[in-house]
Amino acid sequence: MFALDGRTPPVVFRAGMGANEDLEAAASLFENAANELELAARHCRTAAGHTREREIPRGAAHAWAAHGHVLRAAALLEEQARMHAEKSNPDPG
């Protein structure tokens, strides 16, 4: 279970690493994922325009690029989830 009683369990930080460094690493991953998703959105809008103009190959190329950016964002979020899994205490007792 991720949330207990509607609350997120506390995160236990590794010895030798400060909370600020861990939090900054997470924040950086989130920002990078957001940047990838913003690029994906731009490519989707471009793909829509090309498709409306019956420029199907160009539209498809931008749609494919959008998908690539979504995959990159997912990989970044997956990396952060793994980082969280390493530090999260399953028994906060």
Domain residues of the chain, as ranges?
34-86
Residue 2 has pLDDT above 50, yes or no: no
Q: Please identify which residue in the block is written with the tokens 């471009």.
A: 46
- Closest Cα to residue 51, out of 40, 41, 63, 42? 63
Q: What is the DSSP string of 4-26?
A: BTTBPPPBPPPTTS-HHHHHHHH
Give pTM, 2 decimals.
0.75
pLDDT tens-digit readout, 28-80: 999 999 999 999 999 999 999 999 999 999 999 999 999 999 999 999 999 99
Is residue 15 over pLDDT 70?
no
Written as six digits, the tokens of 64 are: 């494919």
Q: What is the DSSP letter of 90?
A: S
Of residues 19 and 54, more confidently modeled:
54
**pLDDT the model gives residue 11:** 46
